[in-house]
Amino acid sequence: MATLYIDRRDATLELRDGQLRLELPADDTQPARTQRLPAALVERIIAVSRTTLDTATLAALADAGISLVALAGRRGDRAAWLEGAFHNDARIRIGQTLVFADPTRRLRLAALIAGLKLREQRRLLARLLEGRPDLRKEVMDALGTLEPIRHALRQANTLSAVRGLEGAAAAAYFRALFAAFPPSLAPERRRRRPPPDPVNAMLSLCYTLGAGHAVRAARLAGLDPAIGYLHAPAHARAALALDLLESERPAIDQFVWRLFAERTLEASHFGRDGGGACLLGKAGRTHLYDRWTARGAELEARLLRRARHLARYLAQFAPPPETDFDGGDSETDDPPSQKDGDSA
């Protein structure tokens, strides 16, 4: 199944009679043209530039199960997602809500999510050390910080403590990771809005793309993407999708590192907007999409497996069918992600 990227300003998209029709206007480099392809071959559409589509097409995309990810603004740090109705088991969402309302179980899941991310951060730093022995001090310093945090997560008794530990781990991790990038790219620390350098710009953009996969995985598994455990629910925030994405962020970090290490992307592919934000230019976006297509499919497959494990766990907390909800406390086994060998 393919991903369709739309990166031509003022394009028009239609879905009629099982066919996607994309009208591309002329620009400085290419004439106007029309592209057609069977909708059955497309799994996802990512619209980067301003694109016009009508309500009939929106409904047809949802009905066909085609995801639409609309990135807003040149920075690509705002996104909207359209998904169809993929799952009809309401027990999963009921269980998801009940666990969210249970402070003990929510804390347990939040700590697990943070621990899985920390584990993957440690693994990536270990791989980095194998290929870059010149970074031994930076990597060993970071690993020396992450190890006690790993133990502290098991003892954390509040969500604030879990989030604080996760933030401290991320700061140490990024200090070591950023040392692996060429100094000409000027990464000093993780900064999101606005991203000041190519590395931060790429991380933010790829995290946004990854979040689109996580939203789709959550909905395919019957979960509500907005009700998370580590990430607090907020207006327009896909909190659970961000929870699912946490343990995959180091894989995205490695993907970004390789883009620069292999010179697929260089400083010349980036520019700045009027506010000083570093932005990936159109030529660079073409290189990114070529590489992201396969990586995004792998990412979504892993996210979907994790989402389905989580859905099975959460469904246990819903009242049995055809019975009254009594608010009782049900004892269950460990979260499925631990059974899957993913313990923190």
CA distance 111 to 166: 9
DSSP codes, 48-101: -S-EE--HHHHHHHHHHT-EEEEEESTT--EEEEE-------HHHHHHHHHHHT
The residues of the chain scoring below 50 in pLDDT are: 330, 339-344
CA distance 12 to 64: 19
Q: Where in the chain does DSSP place strands (E)? A: 2-6, 11-16, 19-24, 33-38, 42-47, 51-52, 67-72, 78-82, 270-272, 278-280
Dmax (CA) of the chain: 65
Residue type present at position 260: F
- pLDDT tens digit string along 280-301? 988 898 899 889 988 888 999 9
Using CA of residue 327, residue 331, residue 334, residue 337, what is the dihedral sign?
negative
Distance set, CA 180 to CA 91, 249, 257 (Å): 46, 17, 8
Q: Which residue has the tokens 């690993």?
A: 143
- pLDDT tens digit string along 249-268? 999 999 999 999 999 999 89
Phi, psi (rounded to 5 degrees) for 339 = -60, -30
Predicted pLDDT at 341: 46
63 alpha carbon, distance to own chain's centre: 24
Distance set, CA 287 to CA 113, 185, 269, 297 (Å): 32, 18, 10, 17
| Sheet bearing 33-38, strands edge to edge | 33-38, 19-24, 11-16, 51-52
Prediction pTM value: 0.80
Q: Which residue has the tokens 């945090």?
A: 149
- Domains of the chain (ranges; CATH) run 2-72 (3.100.10.20), 90-339 (1.20.120.920)
The DSSP H or E segment spanning 251 is: helix 249-261
Over the Cα atoms of the chain, what is R_g? Answer: 21
